[in-house]
Structure 1
Amino acid sequence: MNSENKNGRARGALLAAVRGLVLALVTLPFGIVFLVLVPLSLAFIPLGIGLLTTPAVLTGVRALADVRRRLAHEWCGVRIRAVYRPIPRGTNPWTRTFTMLGDPQTWRDVRWLPVDVTAGFVTALLPAVLLFYPVEGLMLPAGLWRAYTRGDTYWYAFVPVTGQASAFGAGALALALLAVALRYTPAMLSAHFRLTGAVLDNGEGELAERVRVLTETRRDAVDTSAAELRRIERDLHDGAQARLVAMGMDLGTIEMLLDKDPARARQLLAQARRNSVDALEELRDLVRGIHPPVLAERGLGDAVRALALRLPLPAEVTVELPGRPDAPVESAAYFAVSEVLTNAAKHAGADRIWVDLHHTDGRLRITVTDNGGGGAAVGAGSGLAGVEKRLGTFDGVLAVSSPAGGPTMVTMELPCVLS
């Protein structure tokens, strides 16, 4: 067991040293290049050339920083957060340039460049130096000291090597250094990434961005709720209420015609009955639009199955939910799926739809796939934009994959726990 621990420690130290060496020798040239290109590109902005080059250069700096963040997490478990402001698609060079320059995270990336090519280079190279330097010391007692000294004194660290005896002293020091390297080399690589995180990490920006998104989604939720109330009021006024008023007038007329014209009274009774049936159906539709009874009684899985049965094309529903989300989350997920299914049936040109619902790692994940022609996108005025806002109210996300020619896959995720 002790031998396995030593072997594992040796492999970990060697891996950390090699990774640090790669960081120092491979990423350093890119850092130097961008350190030169950034000020040059900014200097050319007044001439107009910088409006074209600056976004490209800053995108390259961002990509380099993203690689370092990813390696920090994968190699040492160090999380370096970043929040970039979104850049609208199709913007002109002026807007794109100054949107990026106005982003605090961009300037964090730029400030990181000189730190990375100086202190970052040293801290990345140090694990390799610490691990490989003892190799030279261990070779000195084997005769390497003769090639190094040649009548002079060769210093190995603070040990002067002039002969075989002093070479053994250097070898002892190398063994001590090797023991230290095997123990601390991985920690030194972690120190490099912690230095990187001290400059790049934007935890405050992440919180600010989250507050901004939540503020927007809450505002959208309030606007949506107000619009929904107006719709319900309009449907009641123009639909069920009008039918009930007409039915009341018919009943009054029937009361007067019972003795004078029984045949006409019977016709009006039949009409009143039809109005009552229509009013009841409209009220049921209205209630179903507010909160479907099947959702309240049987849960999200059966409610989505009921939606699929009402579609004009075949739909296959797979449900793996060991419990039920909270009612607000369940309702938001139901209406989001309803909107996506309606869009697929109307616009996708598909002949089959697949719906998958499951819960994993504290998130409700819903995927709707169709074999239509593709081309779906989240844009202003689209039904998917409304779905994205509905999910955003509960800190959920929407992702759409819809290449030309299909298929289209819409994925929705909501953080929640199941009862």
Structure 2
Amino acid sequence: MASHRLPAAIRAPFEARTWRALLYVLIGLPLGVLWFALSVSFVSAGAGLLITFLGVPILAGALAMCRGFGAVERARARGLLGLDVRPPEPVRGRTGGAFSWMGAMLKSGASWRHLLYAVVHMPWAVFSFTVTVTFWATGWGLFLYPLWQWVFPAYLGQDGMQLYGDGSHDLYLDSPFEIAVTSVVGLLLVMVGPWLLRGFVAVDRLLVSGLLGPSRLATRVTELESDRGVVVDTAAADLRRIERALHDGAQARLAALAMDLGLAKEKLAADPKAAAVLVDEAHGEVKLALRELRDLARGIHPAVLTDRGLDAALSAVASRCAVPVSVDVDLPARPLPAIEGIAYFTVSELLRNVTEHAGARRAWVDVWRAGDRLMVQVRDDGVGGAESLAGRSLAGLTERVGAVDGVLAVVSPAGGPTTVTAELPWRA
């Protein structure tokens, strides 16, 4: 913390990130020249031999080599710049043979982007290396000039560093004032150098992330596959919950009801009073079973949501909450039914958390539309400390909301209050 009391301009030349960036630029030149030379040589040879069959495997091998260069560059960026770029999808042929692999390699956009990186990075590495080394060496050399100025009179026979000379007139930096000014200029260069260096590595970051990672389409496909898995898992979990509820609730009560009615039937002639008691108990079981079935149906998809929309459905949920809940729904129209259902179940689960964990005295539910997004917010004045962790209900809500390209934000400091905001696509 003490170092943070110093201005950033003074800290920058001595920070570890600056020296890691310097090492990245210094290593980048020899690697860039090597990648460029090998890539251009093999690709040129492969392209020149395409009139024969030999050009195809050479060109495919050159692209595979460029992907190997990209793996090295991603590791270098991860270790020195802290930039973690996922590798692109591996190249696989449809049939698994060598010809299929070569065709897939030649059709792979990621492979050609790696080749483009090898070609573009070399001139940039030369430029950034030259400017960085010149600026860095000049800055530190001038800044430390008072420490090594004695070298000139001791070994070179001149009073100091020569600033100007035309054969008839020479200007040396040898007076105390000139030495001090030289050191101050060097200090300014030393302070500016790290920011110039960070600008250079910012360009390197763009090159690595833009050319050596997966394409946006591939990333989107991966996200959709993950979301599809979440939806399937959520649907399976809901089915298991419904099955348990039916098995442990209504089904058990109906089985007991059948037994009671069977006993009543047997005792109807011999003991009418006992049969009447059994019928009365069976009537009570029927009421409980109907109530459980209504609750289960409401948990699957409430009829009030389908018939009257979020305002009425959320008001019904709020009325069953253990703490007073204020509901404010301001929507110009109804969103897509699937989005409406997710919003309903999100509020239901959050209000259940308020009842069971928040220790709140009051809660608020606000629903509104912002552009093409449906905003759902639940607030309470409880003890706070809610976290979106694996295995918690909030983690399940995060996955459910994320499956439709939504976002769940939780703000719950210790001591409260807690605010959970869900942002869903409108999709009317």
TM-score by length of 2: 0.54
Instruction: State the Cα deviation string for residues 325-361 of structure 1 (Å, max 9, x = none).
Output: 2222211121111112211222222222121111122
Alpha-carbon distance in 1 for matches of 2:25, 2:295: 63
For structure 2, the residue ranges without an aligned partner over 5 or more in a row are 1-11, 29-75, 88-112, 132-201
1:359 corresponds to? 369
Residue 235 of structure 1 aligns with an amino acid whose one-letter code is: A
Alpha-carbon distance in 2 for matches of 1:317, 1:414: 18
Where do residues 9-408 of structure 1 align in structure 2 (5 Å cutoff)?
35-38=21-24, 58-59=81-82, 115=124, 118=127, 201=210, 204-408=214-418
Q: How far has the Cα of 1:261 moved from its partner? A: 0.8
1:271–1:378 CA distance, 2 compared to 1 (3 A): same
Q: How far has the Cα of 1:374 moved from its partner? A: 2.2
On the 8 A contact 2:85/2:209 being kept in 1, the answer is no
Q: How far has the Cα of 1:240 moved from its partner? A: 1.3
Q: How far has the Cα of 1:117 moved from its partner? A: 9.6
Residue 251 of structure 1 aligns with an amino acid whose one-letter code is: L
On the 8 A contact 1:35/1:113 being kept in 2, the answer is no
Q: How far has the Cα of 1:114 moved from its partner? A: 8.1
On the 8 A contact 1:112/1:196 being kept in 2, the answer is no
1:258–1:225 CA distance, 2 compared to 1 (3 A): same
For structure 1, the residue ranges without an aligned partner over 5 or more in a row are 1-25, 43-52, 63-81, 86-103, 123-192
3-state DSSP of counterpart to 2:219: helix
On the 8 A contact 1:355/1:369 being kept in 2, the answer is yes
2:54 corresponds to? none
Alpha-carbon distance in 2 for matches of 1:35, 1:114: 18
Alpha-carbon distance in 1 for matches of 2:334, 2:257: 42
Alpha-carbon distance in 1 for matches of 2:123, 2:419: 43
Residue 36 of structure 1 aligns with an amino acid whose one-letter code is: L
1:318–1:113 CA distance, 2 compared to 1 (3 A): farther
On the 8 A contact 1:31/1:116 being kept in 2, the answer is no
Alpha-carbon distance in 1 for matches of 2:234, 2:274: 47
Residue 355 of structure 1 aligns with an amino acid whose one-letter code is: V
1:298–1:275 CA distance, 2 compared to 1 (3 A): same
Instruction: State the Cα deviation string for residues 8-35 of structure 1 (Å, max 9, x = none).
Output: xxxxxxxxxxxxxxxxxx9xxx998664
Q: How far has the Cα of 1:211 moved from its partner? A: 2.3
Q: How far has the Cα of 1:206 moved from its partner? A: 3.5
TM-score by length of 1: 0.55
1:265–1:200 CA distance, 2 compared to 1 (3 A): closer
1:351–1:268 CA distance, 2 compared to 1 (3 A): same
Q: How far has the Cα of 1:266 moved from its partner? A: 0.9
3-state DSSP of counterpart to 2:351: helix
Instruction: State the Cα deviation string for residues 351-384 of structure 1 (Å, max 9, x = none).
Output: 2212111112211111112222322221111111
1:178 corresponds to? none
Alpha-carbon distance in 2 for matches of 1:274, 1:199: 70
3-state DSSP of counterpart to 1:368: strand
Instruction: State the Cα deviation string for residues 130-161 of structure 1 (Å, max 9, x = none).
Output: xxxxxxxxxxxxxxxxxxxxxxxxxxxxxxxx
3-state DSSP of counterpart to 2:365: strand
Alpha-carbon distance in 1 for matches of 2:269, 2:247: 34
1:299–1:83 CA distance, 2 compared to 1 (3 A): farther
On the 8 A contact 1:400/1:411 being kept in 2, the answer is yes
Alpha-carbon distance in 2 for matches of 1:31, 1:268: 81
Alpha-carbon distance in 1 for matches of 2:365, 2:127: 53
Q: How far has the Cα of 1:254 moved from its partner? A: 2.0
- Compute the RMSD of aligned alpha carbons: 4.0
Alpha-carbon distance in 2 for matches of 1:56, 1:384: 34
On the 8 A contact 1:366/1:411 being kept in 2, the answer is yes
1:380–1:199 CA distance, 2 compared to 1 (3 A): closer
Q: How far has the Cα of 1:220 moved from its partner? A: 2.0
Aligned residue-pair number: 268
Q: Sequence identity, in percent? A: 47
Instruction: State the Cα deviation string for residues 182-203 of structure 1 (Å, max 9, x = none).
Output: xxxxxxxxxxx99997775479
Moved more, 244-253 or 295-304: 244-253
Q: How far has the Cα of 1:275 moved from its partner? A: 1.0
On the 8 A contact 1:83/1:209 being kept in 2, the answer is no
Q: How far has the Cα of 1:265 moved from its partner? A: 1.1
1:392–1:215 CA distance, 2 compared to 1 (3 A): same
